[in-house]
Amino acid sequence: MSYISDKSKIGENLKAGENVVIESDVQIGDNVTIGNNVVIKKGTVIGNNCVIADNTVLGKEPFKASNSAVTEKIELPPLVIGNAVTIGVLSVVYRGAKISDEAFIADLASIRENVDIGIKTIIGKGVTVENKTKIGKYVKIETEAYITALSEIGDYCFIAPQVTFTNDNFLGRTEDRKNHFKGPVIKKGARIGANATILPGVVIEKDTLIAAGSVVTKNTEPKKIYLGSPAKYFGEVPEEQLLKNQTYYKK
């Protein structure tokens, strides 16, 4: 049996499965499809033409572990989901996140609070995006990549499967580390190959290519290829591979 609060605002042509819970002050646009066992928490805003798959939770409040260094106990704004967004099975999107129009979030994804995801960005299966992270438009983040807290990813970036971002050079030791947390900054059009690791605060410049399996310890230069552990300059990105020369690129 489903529960829909009479304090929520529901648009036309809602299609909802079994055991759906919609709490108070939720706003849902027109032509939205919601699967079975979905929970939509208080205040969540969902645009028109969205699809929410089975067993997903939207607008979850974060829990704070006693020794968490990044999660804060603060009043968060509601989760806001734009138009024509798809969210897959068993995904959790936290309160305080913003998902822009036509974004696609695959099964088993976790999107934390204070995360901003741009239009038409794809978040792959099992991807984790930690809190206080900004992701631009037309980004593709593939299966089981880990995007640590305090990261920035620019427009049109490509993050391959099982890439790992890091934000703590002290590996959990000393109180002073809390003054130095910083995730990687990935600038417009950069590409990172499978299983690469990006160290805290490293800046990957525009159109940089990081080869699979590399460990990036230092800032890169634009339009260059880096590989190895630690990653070193290997060559120039071919002209035909530059973002400006791609048919899908919109300035």
What is the DSSP track for 7-64? TSEE-TT-EE-TT-EE-TT-EE-SS-EE-TT-EE-TT-EE-TT-EE-TT-EEEEPPP-
What confidence tens digit (pLDDT) does each residue in 29-44 have?
A: 999 999 999 999 999 9
pLDDT value at residue 73: 72
Q: Which residue has the higher pLDDT, 127 or 170?
A: 127
Q: What is the CATH number for 196?
A: 2.160.10.10
Examine the pLDDT at 71 and tell me if it is beyond 70: no
What confidence tens digit (pLDDT) does each residue in 110-162 have?
A: 999 999 999 999 999 999 999 999 999 999 999 999 999 999 999 999 999 99
pLDDT value at residue 224: 98
Residues 227 and 116 in one domain: no
Instruction: Report the chain's terminal Cα–Cα distance, integer Å.
Output: 48
Examine the pLDDT at 88 and tell me if it is beyond 90: yes
Has residue 155 been placed in a domain?
Answer: no
Has residue 182 been placed in a domain?
Answer: yes
What is the total residue count of the chain? 251
Residues 10 and 91 in one domain: yes
Q: Which residues contact 216 (CB under 8 A, 6 or more apart)?
A: 184, 196, 197, 198, 199, 202, 204, 210, 226, 230, 231
Decide: helix, strand or coil at residue 239. helix
| 116 vs 146: CA distance, rounded Å | 16
Q: How confident is the model at residue 52 (pLDDT cuts 50, 70, 90)?
A: very high
Beta-carbon neighbour count of residue 214 at 10 Å? 24
pLDDT value at residue 235: 98
Range of the domain at 1: 1-61+75-129
Residues 27 and 121 in one domain: yes
Examine the pLDDT at 69 and tell me if it is beyond 70: no
Has residue 136 been placed in a domain?
Answer: no
Has residue 154 been placed in a domain?
Answer: no
HSE-CB at 197 with a 13 A cutoff on CA atoms is: 10
Examine the pLDDT at 68 and tell me if it is beyond 70: no
- Cα 145–Cα 224–Cα 184 angle in degrees, nearest 5: 35
Q: Which residue has the tokens 């997903």?
A: 56
pLDDT value at residue 221: 98
- The number of folded domains in the chain is 2
